[in-house]
Amino acid sequence: MSVRTAEQLNAKLAEDLIWRKKELSEVKSLIEAKDVSSSKHNALIRSGVCILYAHWEGFVKLASNSYLEYVAMKKLPYDQLSSNFLALAMKTKLDQAKDTKKPSLYIPVCDFFLSELATRSSLPYKDGISTASNLSSEILEEITCILGIDFSVYSTKSVLIDTKLLKARNEIAHGNYLMIDREQYIELHKEIMAMLDIFRNQVENAAINEDFMRKLP
C-alpha cells in the first residue's frame, strides 16, 4: 500500500519499529541472563551487536524511504517543494549534465528552471535513500540533509555510531574477534533504542509540520 497520508506513514513506522524493538529486547534479555557459560555469553553479545546495527540501519532506511514516498505521492509542483526535495528531484537531470563536457546538455536543465517549476513533481522514492550498507554518522548526516530533518541531535553520537556500533559490527561480520562486555552492550542497546525513537519522531513531525514544503517569506 502506498504511503499517502501522515496517518499511514505513522502506522508503517510504528509497525516496523514494534518487531524490531521486540527482537532487540529479547536479545538483551538473553545477554543479561546469568546462567550461561562465558563462551555462550560472548557469542550472544557479538551476535547482538550485529543485530543492533541491522535494526538501526534497517529502520533508518525504511523510515527515510517511507517519508520520501509520502512526499512523492503528494505530487506537489516543484516550486512548492523545499530545497532539499527539489534538489533530489533534480538529481537525475543534473547528473546527466555534469557527466559530459557538452554544454548543450545543460539547456534542458535551464529550460526546466525557467518554465517547468510549476509542473507536478516526480520524486524517485523507490529506494531513493540509500544507507550503502554502511550507516556511518557521515551518511546519516547526508540522509537527514536530504530529508530536511535536524542532524544536530546526532552530532554528539559520532563515536557511538562510527566506532561502538558500525566498526564493531564490521569487525564481527568480517570474522575478527572483538570482545565487548555485558555493560558495554547494554549501554549500546540503550543508545540505539533511543535513536530509533528520535529518528521516528523526526520523520513523523516533518510530515505533520509539512517541512517538505517551501516556506514563503
Residue 127, SS3? coil
Query: Is residue 81 very low, low, confident or very high in pLDDT (cuts 50, 70, 90)?
Result: very high
Measured over the CA atoms of residue 200, residue 201, residue 206 and residue 208, the dihedral's sign is: positive
Per the document, the length of the chain is 217
Tell the residue number behind the cell numbers 527539489, with chain if given. Answer: 86
What are the beta bridge partners of residue 77? 120
Backbone angles phi, psi at 188, to 5 degrees: -65, -45
Contact 56, 195 (CB under 8 A): yes
Q: Note the pTM of the prediction, 2 decimals.
A: 0.91
99 or 23, greater pLDDT = 23
What is the tens place of the pLDDT at every residue in 157-177? 999 999 999 999 999 888 777
Distance CA 157, CA 166 (A): 12
Q: What is the mean pLDDT of residues 72-97?
A: 86
Residues 6+ apart with CB under 8 A from 191: 157, 160
Compute, in degrees rounded to 10, the torsion defined by CA atoms 206, 14, 145, 97: -100
